[in-house]
Structure 1
Amino acid sequence: MATSPIVDLWGRPIETADLDEQQTESDSRLTSLKRHFADHPSSGLTPMKLAGIMKRAEEGDLIAQSELAEDMEEKDAHIQSELAKRKMALLNIDWNIRPPRNATADEQRDADMLQELLEDATWLEDAFFDMADATLKSFSNLELRWDRVEGMQLVTGYDHRDPAWFQTHPDNRNQLRLRDGSHQGAELNPFGWIAHTAKAKSGYLTRRGLVRVLAWPFLFKNYSVRDLAEFLEIYGLPIRLGKYPEGATEREKATLLRAVMSIGHNAGGIIPKGMDIDFNNAADGASDPFMAMVSWCEKSQSKAILGGTLTSQADGKTSTNALGNVHNEVREEIRDFDLKRIAATLTRDLVFPLYALNGKSYRTRHRIPRFEFDLTEAEDIQMLSTTLPGLVQLGMRIPLAWAHDKTQIPQAKDGEDILQPQSASLTQGAQND
């Protein structure tokens, strides 16, 4: 039987008929995944339980670690806020499709075609956000929906799949597989997924996500918040002492005890005549030790997620504007790192499939267009305008394209109106008259 001339980046042949239905819909072994519900391992979390969750994840069982990450993001407002900042920073960054080096005219046309297709993809920005979920969980898998539109194979959307649906291959701890009940799991279909992995740290796939760093401050913070709540309940209310006369019956004593226990919260109650309730001052105590622990945990979380604390909270002491700018620069470096990894994943799992299935210039998987975010910062135009003329007069041969890149000013296309000095435009107008 003849094999398809189209292969993925690992040389596996692609049949377009396989794209008609998503893998999780067509494979009967995977139908049980959609009936999976989380066990919420954060409930009753202890150091021993957390260590067990991480140990099982290293052995390939990612269910509990993935569900713990979900719980952390839902239960801890500080983690959710910091992660949202890191995700939101990835949006509204310009991007483009670059053709291969020394591109032919056909390759340039195909790159322009892919640019138009993805600019029209209303789901793409949501995909950036969902791919950033890998920052916490170390991976994020989006299952693509393909459709044939006007003779072209196009991606019309995607579904973000629960991280708990996946496991690692027992012989390759960096390879994700779908849980289908088998020991090895089911291989992800080529051209069927955007399989993004993040790198908060080096190591095997299951240990790269921030969940393993943030889980410990999350646990200690929960202990401190619980202890603080108990402290406020015990020390925040006055001590109530009930006095019953001699000879009181057990029933009368029980009545007085119920009144003592409830009167502080209900602000009212009744007791038999001849009995008294005295209110003494609340016991002395301080909440500072508990809040100090909560503050340490939140600062640790901010450092792990954003690389610093001054972009999320100020202490009124060391939070100077200069330090804030330094911390913001670190955050921008983290943003650029995330974007470069997302661009590499999109080149492999989105741009290449679209190019291989629709590109007229496609010949080999070794020459493909690339998805790139524009991470260059515009230089100070005023500074360049004062320094460049002097450098040119000294004989420096400065490429025009370099100046446009530095200033982030696009080059005019052939026949397009351009800005000109007023004197030059007046002279040209007079010559035309």
Structure 2
Amino acid sequence: MAKDPKNDPAKPALPPLDSEVASQASDPFSTVFMGVLRSNDPLIMERGLAGSEAHELYRDLRRDGKVFAGLQKRKLAVVSRGWTVEPVTQSEQGARDAAVVNDILGTFGFDRICGGLMDALLVGWQPAEVVWTLADVAVDGAPRQMVVPARVVKRPHRRFVYVQDGDAAPELRLLTRGDMQRGVAVPPRKFIVHRVEAEDDNPYGLGLGLQLYWPVFFKRKGVLAWTKFLDRFGLPIPWGKYPREASPREKGTLFDALRAVSNDGTLMTPEGTMIELLESKINGSATPHQAHVEFMDDWIMEVILGQSPRGGNGGALAAAATEREGVRLELSQADSDLLSETLNATLIQWICEYNGLQPCLVYRKIEKDEDRKAESETDKNISELGFQMTEEGVKAKYGDHWERKAAPPAPPALGGGGDPASFAEGEAAAPDQVALDQALDAALSNDAMQRQMEAVLAPVFERLQAGGDPQAMLGWLAERFPDLTEDKLQERLAQVLFAAAVWGRLHGQA
């Protein structure tokens, strides 16, 4: 009799299923009012911010050019890559359903919403609302009405809060005019929330804004001080001197003249007055303000891209560039994977459930751009070892727009069979030419004659095997035998004889 695994004393008891013991609701150090969870971001807590004020604190950082440029690099590095939809279970039906989901994603700006959801990199989380509609989608060549997204709209953070009641998981709720504290429950399969570094006691996540706030703050102060410095020392101040006995009218005339020179500031003193200015002792073109701003820019880009954009020179610069490229690809792949997890658990799953499709997954593969020049050189080296790439391999590697070249035309036939070859400017071969061809064949059949001809025609063979053109070869043969050029008949005969011997010899060796 088989033992019941539940009552088997050799096995431990089952653990608590689908439950949390140390949840946020039972945390004695957490202050929760009416179940509404607050962010545990230290900067937000330090400033006593809540709700929309906390989110706007980080959104304001995008006004900085370096922050905006760095975030754009992170976002576009993912969005610029193509997406792939695959079924969870490999089957013929799953492959067809994955193709249908792929077609649906191309109808409502999938890349655009991916870029919008990646704003969570800065703030920590980003909600978006799916607007569903009915549309005809081609399935196996026939239209079929399906529930598809008409658009996905990015929503402001201030409209939402997370509420936790009891041991239940935190729930996203929508703030309305009727309930500004806890909000109302959102409909199922309606809102996508992409989160970064979300924790148990902080479902809102932690974005890069926490690390970017202070370098941006100090950079703005440095730029302000730099601007004041340039305003004070960048332009000369006009200085007018008037006699001590000058009248008020004369002083006014001098003042008007100084104001005409500069509106930023002027100086008027009686003659003999001593004025000294405390000048800056800075040497060189750079200033401490510039160094300060550049240091903050490096700090900002290191937070966003994972490494400072500055490096040494020479080999150190090349090594740093290679390392930055590797870090950038890793960050882009990580951003893509996290975004795909969010989409696969929400939008992609909902599309499949609403339309009875096999479960599918979407993902992007981030790879380094291939060096076509290096690859072509490698292929050339391999071909020199005696290997040949198939036409399918060439198309798979370099694109479908490549095809094999047409075979070069065969050399003209000589002697009997077919049209006789003619090298005389397109003229038809005369009967004498045919007789000459036959005589040449008979001469070459003689072993002694053949050895003599091989010695004579050795340079001719070398020139042809090196890629010589037949028309150019005729001129070369005429120059090779100058004593045959006095008479046109002898020149034509010499050209036909030697050209026929060479091409006939090569044709016989093929």
One-letter identity of the residue aligned with 1:328: E
For 2:199 and 2:113, how far apart are their aligned partners in 1? 23
Q: Which residue does the alignment assign to 1:140?
A: 126
Change (3 A) 1:51 1:208: closer
1:266 aligned onto 2:276? no
* Maintained 8 Å contact 2:240/2:268: no
Which residue is 2:289 aligned to? 290
CA contact (8 A) 2:239 2:266 kept: no
Q: Which residue of 1 aligns with 2:94?
A: 107
SS of 1:185's partner is strand
Shift of 1:337: 0.3
Distance 1:254 1:72, change over 3 A: farther
Counterpart AA for 1:298: D
Q: Which residue of 2 aligns with 1:308?
A: 307
Q: Which amino acid aligns with 2:94?
A: E
Q: 1:252 to 1:215 in 2, by over 3 A?
A: farther
Match of 1:89 in 2: 77
Is 1:198 aligned to 2:202, yes or no? no
| 1:166 correspondence with 2:160 | yes
Residue 343 (1) aligns with residue 331 (2): no
* C-alpha RMSD of matched pairs (Å): 4.8
Residue identity (%)? 22
Post-superposition offset of 1:259:
6.0
2:52 aligned partner: 63
Alignment match of 2:233 (pick from 232, 235, 242):
235
- Alignment-mate amino acid for residue 75 of structure 2: K
Q: Sort the Cα spacing of 1:378 and 1:217 in 2 relative to 1 into closer, same or farther, 3 A.
A: closer
Separation in structure 2 between the aligned mates of residue 195 and residue 347 of structure 1, nearest angstrom: 12
Given that 1:133 and 1:139 are in contact with CA atoms closer than 8 Å, whether structure 2 keeps it comes out as: yes
Query: How far does the alpha carbon of each residue in 1:277-306 deviate from its partner, in whole angstroms, 9 at most, with x for none?
Result: 999888224362212221111111111101
CA distance in 2, matches of 1:309, 1:200: 26
- Alignment partners' CA distance in 1, 2:273 and 2:160: 61
Q: Which residue, 208, 211, 220 being the options, matches 1:210?
A: 208
Partner of 2:112: 126
TM-aligned CA deviation for residue 169 of structure 1: 3.0
Counterpart-to-counterpart distance in 2, 1:138 and 1:355: 28
**Aligned pair 1:371/2:362, yes or no?**
yes
Q: Which consecutive unaligned segments of at least 5 residues does structure 1 have?
A: 1-9, 11-49, 363-367, 388-403, 411-417, 423-433
Cα distance in 2 for partners of 1:342, 1:178 equals: 23
Structure 2 distance, partners of 1:408, 1:216, is 52
Q: Which residue of 1 aligns with 2:184?
A: 186
CA 214–377 in structure 1, closer or farther in 2 if over 3 Å, else same: closer
Alignment check: 8 A CA contact 2:174 2:185 kept: yes
327, 348, 368: which one aligns with 2:324 = 327
Equivalent pair of 2:163/2:170 in contact (CA under 8 Å): yes
1:13-48 residue CA offsets vs partner (Å, 9 max, x unmatched): xxxxxxxxxxxxxxxxxxxxxxxxxxxxxxxxxxxx
Q: How far apart are 1:73 and its partner, in Å?
A: 0.9
TM-score by length of 1: 0.63
State the match for 2:9 in structure 1. none
- State the distance in 1 between where 2:56 and 2:239 align: 47
The count of residues paired between Structure 1 and Structure 2 equals 339
Is there any run of 5+ residues in structure 2 with no aligned partner, and where? 1-17, 19-40, 137-144, 383-392, 407-510
TM-score by length of 2: 0.55
Instruction: Measure the CA separation in 2 of the matches of 1:244 and 1:200.
Output: 72
Inter-CA distance 352–228: structure 2 relative to 1 (3 Å threshold): same
Larger radius of gyration, structure 1 or 2? Answer: 2
Distance apart, 1:308 and its partner CA: 1.4
Task: Go from structure 1 to structure 2 and tell me whether the alpha carbon gap of 1:207 and 1:233 turns closer, same or farther (over 3 Å shift).
Answer: farther
| Shift in CA distance, 96/207, structure 1 to aligned 2, threshold 3 Å | closer
What is the alpha-carbon distance in structure 1 between the residues aligned to residue 305 and residue 348 of structure 2? 29
The one of the two structures with greater contact order (alpha-carbon pairs below 8 A, sep at least 6) is 1
Instruction: Give how far 1:187 is off.
Output: 3.4
The answer as to whether partners of 1:238 and 1:279 remain within 8 angstroms in 2 is no
Q: Which amino acid aligns with 1:347?
A: N
Q: 2:242, 2:251 within 8 Å by CA — same for their partners in 1? A: no
